[in-house]
């Protein structure tokens, strides 16, 4: 049996396939970003999922595609955790950009992730080339959930948010300063905490303020994470992630502004990953 996972900071989706490619199990754990979470927390999140516990000794291969797996040290940490948990499996850990690429295209393109965090890469049809390493939610992550969450909190506290919007924000979130500071500076998952404020932009009826914030974030992302790839002048740009899915009208506007050809926009890459690995299983049978 092969186990496929698409993991971010907020959650990780897991799919178990048998040798014929039939789906045996679908489940979810909390986020498993090794650049953000410590080993004990990630081990705990695996052990708490009873579906994975039930099948862990039957798994022969684990293919994990995750945020925070773009550099060697955190990738090896996560690989070691999986090898200890799935004791009979060969484990492969790759950056989440591979999952995004496999989910949206088989042809050359620029592939972007806009979820809790953000990233981009050039995909030549087989390999992923990330030319601008991500420095995470504090320094980068334009147009991500945590980027927009920080923007909303700053605007609220600097009183730059329109009064009606600010009142709605107060009704939907706990905006107590001590609570916010505790969650950001003392609790686990500060990037996920910040990202949950971004739901305010995506779940409520659009207004001029929301459009301005979303346009600014998307323009920042295009300028810093797409335009530097010269290939973007000639090949489509694809997007994966919840932020991209719910803000695709804004993405289309900004793509037109920069004269960028827009490709596919997919909310969750896991479905594309399933098909990709099913095709690999077919090839193994030949």
pTM (two decimals): 0.83
Say which CATH number the domain at 19 has. Answer: 3.30.420.40
Lookup: tokens for 232: 């973007």
If asked whether residues 274 and 247 sit together in one domain, one would say no
In a 3-state reduction of DSSP, which class is residue 24? strand
Alpha helices, H only, the chain: 39-47, 50-55, 72-85, 96-104, 136-139, 145-157, 163-172, 177-185, 190-196, 199-203, 208-221, 242-246, 248-257, 270-285
Edge to edge, what strands does the sheet with 61-66 contain?
23-30, 11-17, 2-7, 61-66, 90-95
What is the total count of domains within the chain?
2
Same domain, 204 and 229: yes
Q: Is the pLDDT of residue 286 over 60?
A: no
What's the chain's Rg over C-alpha atoms? 19
Q: What is the pLDDT of residues 121-130, one digit of tens each?
A: 999 998 999 9
- Same structural domain, 213 and 190: yes
pLDDT digit string (tens) for 138-159? 999 999 999 999 999 999 999 9
pLDDT of residue 59: 96
pLDDT (average), residues 182-202: 93
Whether residues 69 and 132 fall in one domain: no
Instruction: Summarize the confidence of residues 86-91 as an average pLDDT.
Output: 96
The reply to whether 116 and 32 lie within a common domain is no
Do 185 and 52 belong together in one domain?
A: no
Give residue 283's pLDDT: 65
How confident is the prediction for the chain on average, in pLDDT?
93
Overall average pLDDT of the 197-218 stretch: 95
């Amino acid at each position: 049996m092969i186990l496929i996972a698409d993991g971010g900071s907020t959650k990780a989706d897991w799919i178990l396939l048998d040798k014929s490619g039939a789906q045996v199990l679908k489940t979810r754990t909390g986020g498993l970003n090794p650049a953000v979470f410590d080993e004990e927390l990630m081990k705990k999140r695996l052990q708490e999922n009873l579906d994975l516990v039930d099948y862990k000794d039957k798994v022969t291969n684990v293919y994990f595609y995750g945020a925070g797996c773009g550099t060697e040290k955190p990738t090896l940490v996560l690989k070691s955790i999986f090898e200890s948990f799935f004791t009979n499996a060969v484990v492969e850990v790759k950056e989440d950009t591979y999952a995004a690429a496999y989910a949206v295209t088989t042809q050359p393109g620029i592939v972007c992730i806009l979820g809790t965090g953000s990233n981009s890469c050039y995909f030549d049809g087989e390999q992923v080339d990330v030319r601008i390493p991500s420095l995470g939610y504090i320094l980068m992550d334009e147009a991500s959930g945590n980027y927009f969450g920080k923007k909303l909190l700053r605007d609220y506290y600097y009183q730059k948010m329109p009064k009606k919007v600010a009142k709605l924000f107060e009704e939907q979130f706990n905006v107590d300063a001590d609570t916010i500071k505790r969650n950001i500076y003392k609790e686990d998952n500060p990037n996920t905490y910040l990202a949950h404020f971004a739901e305010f932009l995506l779940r409520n009826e659009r207004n001029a303020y929301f459009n301005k914030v979303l346009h600014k974030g998307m323009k920042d992302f295009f300028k810093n994470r797409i335009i530097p790839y010269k290939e973007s002048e000639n090949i489509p740009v694809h997007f994966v992630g919840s932020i991209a899915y719910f803000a695709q009208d804004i993405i289309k506007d900004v793509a037109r502004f920069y004269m960028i050809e827009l490709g596919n926009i997919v909310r969750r890459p896991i479905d594309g990953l399933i098909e990709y690995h099913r095709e690999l299983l077919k090839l193994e049978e030949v």
